[in-house]
Amino acid sequence: MRRIAFWSPKGGVGKTTLALNFAGAAYYAGYKVLVCDLDPQQSSIDVFNEKKLPFSVVPDKPQVMPNVDFLIYDHAPDINTIPSVETIIMPMRASVLDLKAINRCYRLVRDKTVIKCINAVDTRRHDERILAMKLFSEGAHLVKDRSIYVRSLSHGETVFQMNVYGARDAQNELNRLLSRVLSIGKEKVVNY
């Protein structure tokens, strides 16, 4: 089982959006997934309550280890709760202030594999595009600003359930992130 935390000190950077869509990528690739909503705002639960997601979302960590391939944590924007996982996906916006905040909390998780995910990149904006490309060249994953992410979750679905213009590009972005996580190697869960 792999445990993946979507974690960032910053709020509103896409933790919930990416956690649910990453779960969608894994589910449609044939993996068993469970999303744990660890944020008191319970946004992932709100989406799940629309009853359209093909996987389950639970409001906290399960008491017993679930029989899944991916356990995905949607965290609250909180620097004090360090995720108890090996792999962290850290969403951020293509902004210098986000980068500084992220880099400051890097030392807290240096024993883990951390993938920076520059989310909602608007490539029409010069400064955003330049910073995103620089971070991409340093190994960050890029996810573009796409209305399909907003629309799909407001309907209670992931982009993998949408068959409209733009959905395929969004799916490809998430599939590339899944491939990257799969290439890391399987996590050994010692203490659940």
- Residue type at 132 in one-letter notation: A
* Dist CA 180 CA 173 (whole Å): 11
**Minimum CB distance to ligand ATP, residue 185 (Å):** 27
Quick one: which of 2, 3, 15, 141 contacts ligand ATP (CB under 6 A)? 15
* Backbone dihedral angles phi then psi of residue 38, each to the nearest 5 degrees: -100, 15
**Minimum CB distance to ligand ATP, residue 8 (Å):** 6
Nearest to 33 by CA among 183, 158, 154, 145: 158
Q: Does 120 bind ligand ATP (CB under 6 A)?
A: yes
Quick one: which of 29, 32, 61, 77 contacts ligand ATP (CB under 6 A)? 77
Partner whose footprint covers residue 90, from ligand ATP, Mg ion, none (CB < 5 to 8 Å by kind) = none
Quick one: which of 2, 3, 141, 146 contacts ligand ATP (CB under 6 A)? 146
Q: Does 166 bind ligand ATP (CB under 6 A)?
A: no
Partner whose footprint covers residue 45, from Mg ion, ligand ATP, none (CB < 5 to 8 Å by kind) = none
* Dist CA 65 CA 192 (whole Å): 7
Partner whose footprint covers residue 66, from ligand ATP, Mg ion, none (CB < 5 to 8 Å by kind) = none
Partner whose footprint covers residue 11, from Mg ion, ligand ATP, none (CB < 5 to 8 Å by kind) = ligand ATP
* Dist CA 176 CA 171 (whole Å): 9
| Three-state secondary structure call for residue 147 | helix
Find the angle CA(149)-CA(155)-CA(158) to the nearest 5 degrees. 45
Q: Report the chain's C-alpha Rg in angstroms.
A: 16
Site residues for Mg ion, window 17-46 (CB under 5 A)? 43
* Dist CA 163 CA 111 (whole Å): 40
Cβ atoms within 10 Å, residue 163: 7
- Quick one: which segment of 52-60, 101-109, 147-155, 161-169 binds ligand ATP (CB under 6 A)? 147-155
User: Where do contacts with ligand ATP occur on this chain (CB under 6 A)?
Assistant: 11-17, 39, 41, 43, 77, 119-120, 143, 145-146, 149-150, 153
The contact set with Mg ion (CB under 5 A) reads 15-16, 43
